[in-house]
Amino acid sequence: MPVIVREARPAEHATLGELVVAAYRSLPEFDEPGYEPDLRDVARRAREAVVLVALDESADPPLLGCITYVPGPESPWAELLEPGEAAIRMLAVDAAARGRGAGTALAAACVARARAEGRSAIFLHSLPYMRAAQVIYARLGFTRRPDRDWEPEPGVRLLGFWLPLEGLRG
């Protein structure tokens, strides 16, 4: 059965929060326990941005992963966005569901949403060790933007990735 992407429902927020934390913890290099409350708080992200979920209704459990779509610089979830840009944050896929296309489907849904909203570009930050996610972003046309790398706290280096959308309706 194909992966379906839709907005997360309130009844799913707690489960998705645990999925996001587990997905990040499954990365051997992840060592930011202070970030886990933000990762877990899907309900807050859903109030202040848009949380999309990937699911396979024939699977048990059906929830495969989620992503946060930040519609613009005015969102509390925006990090260093320029006017007209949207953003992607907190892409997470359950470790057991990786390789099934959920991450690609989630990121592509954010790109499609940004295009539909007339955004000029979509931007994101990724940690250097999140190589699987970076492959997805490259496949979707994102390019590295070292000029927009960011170190929100000492020792945490975030890499900038950007996809221009103007003139790319689809």
> Where do the domains of the chain lie?
4-164
**The two three-digit tokens of residue 140, written as one number:** 């979707």
Q: Which residues, in sequence order, are bridge partners of residue 126?
A: 159
Residue range 4-164 forms a domain whose CATH class is alpha beta
| pLDDT tens-place string over residues 88-125 | 999 999 988 888 899 999 999 999 999 999 999 999 99
For the record, the structure tokens of 43 come out as 């309900």
- The residues of the chain scoring below 50 in pLDDT are 168-170
pLDDT at residue 167, rounded to an integer: 58
Contacts of residue 117, Cβ cutoff 8 Å, sequence gap at least 6: 71, 86
Instruction: Look at the alpha carbons of 5, 140, 152, 83 in this order and tell me if their dihedral is positive or negative.
Output: negative
pTM (whole model) above 0.85:
yes
Q: Please check whether residue 103 is in contact with residue 73, taking contact to mean a CB–CB distance below 8 angstroms.
A: no
Q: What is the DSSP letter of 34?
A: G
C-alpha of 9 from chain center: 17
For residue 93, report the phi and psi dihedrals to the nearest 5 degrees.
Answer: -125, 135
Q: What are the Cα distances from residue 40, in Å, to 18, 113, 137, 142?
A: 6, 24, 23, 27
Cα gap 61→91, rounded to integer Å: 18
Give me the pLDDT at residue 44, please.
Answer: 94
